[in-house]
Structure 1
Amino acid sequence: MKTFSLIFLTIFLAKGCGNEAQNDIANATLQYTANTRGFFQKIVVTNQKATISRDREGEKSPEEITISDKDWKEIIGYFEKIDLEKVPTLKDPTQKRFYDGAAIANLKIRYQDKNYETTEFDHGFPPAEIEKLVNKIVSLAKEKE
């Protein structure tokens, strides 16, 4: 009986943790922005939806897409691995933006009423700690080009 209770409790708690993580990211907002003189891209991800804007002036309405379950699970997995407190101190791997070799990019995360923002980095070359998440977010916009 003790074994059965232990197994049941383990399964119950494991399921509860997984759903809690999904709910947590469902309440988060991820905003990726990349721009240079001739290029602008802003992607806002919130609760399995992405809003993509390529108009710096805001004259054209942003495009909204629904993120597939498969892509959303990937985003959740990448998000869970990030230490949010370290986001502002992440180091950029390249400095191509200093000589117009890449657009200037950054990632802003709003999570549990706190804001976490990276320092500027090169579009296409994010810090290693957030690389998979950023690349996944950018790939959502590439699918709609």
Structure 2
Amino acid sequence: MRILSLLLLTIFFGTSCSSQKIADMTTTQIEYSAVSRGVYKKIIVQNKMVSITNGRDAQPVEKKIDDAKWKQIATEFSKINLESIPTLKAPTEKRFYDGAAIGNLTIIQNQKTYQTQGFDNGFPPKEIEKLVNLLTDFAKE
């Protein structure tokens, strides 16, 4: 009986912690940008909404994010250590010779900003790769 009680208590706390992470996402803003001489892309995700700007003079287009996609974003976001974001290293260096636009991920949570160093658009650091790919999928739609 004790083992069963302990197991149920563990499951209860585990599910409440994961739902807390998803609840925290409602006040979190995630911004991805890719900039070079010929490219300007900015994707902002916040509270089940996405704003996409393709071009320097373009107006942003806003869309609602469906629940399945939002859950994917929240899951990938929960795997990221926010404190380590500024120290992530880019896997490639094509941006140094105009071989790729400069990508940047910025996360604002609880009035604190976490920003990556520049990396090649399309080649983010492994630790944030899945989240960045989910964000860039919005611009392809």
Q: Give the TM-score, by structure 1 length.
A: 0.89
Match for residue 124 of structure 1? 122
CA distance in 2, matches of 1:136, 1:17: 23
Structure 1 runs of 4+ aligned residues shifted over 4 Å read: 1-8
Letter in 1 for 2:89: K
5 Å-filtered alignment, 1:13-52, equals 13-52=13-52
Q: Counterpart in 2 of 1:109?
A: 107
Structure 1, unaligned stretches of length 5 or more?
none
Matching residue within 67, 70, 76 for 2:68: 70
CA shift digits 1:5-32 (9 cap, x unpaired): 5455344323322221111112110000
Q: Calculate the TM-score normalised by the size of structure 2.
A: 0.91
Shift in Å at residue 33 of structure 1? 0.5
Alpha-carbon distance, 1:2 to partner: 5.3
SS at 1:24's partner residue? helix
The answer to whether residue 140 in structure 2 is matched with residue 139 in structure 1 is no
Which secondary structure state, in structure 2, belongs to the residue aligned with residue 42 of structure 1?
strand
Identity level (%): 48
The structure 1 residue matched to 2:86, chosen from 65, 85, 88, is: 88
Query: Which amino acid counterpart does residue 37 of structure 1 have in structure 2?
Result: R
CA RMSD of aligned residues (A): 1.6
Q: 1:9 matched to which residue of 2?
A: 9
Equivalent-residue separation in structure 2 for 1:136 and 1:80 (angstroms): 14
User: Which residues of structure 2 form unaligned runs of 5+?
Assistant: none
Higher deviation after alignment, 67-76 or 4-13 = 4-13
Q: CA deviation at 1:118?
A: 0.3
Find the aligned partners of 1:111 and 1:26 in 2 and give their Cα distance. Answer: 10
Which residue number in structure 1 is paired with residue 96 of structure 2?
98
Secondary structure of the corresponding residue to residue 103 of structure 2: strand
Question: How many aligned residue pairs are there?
Answer: 141
Q: Distance in 1 between matches of 2:124 and 2:8?
A: 42
SS of 1:125's partner is coil
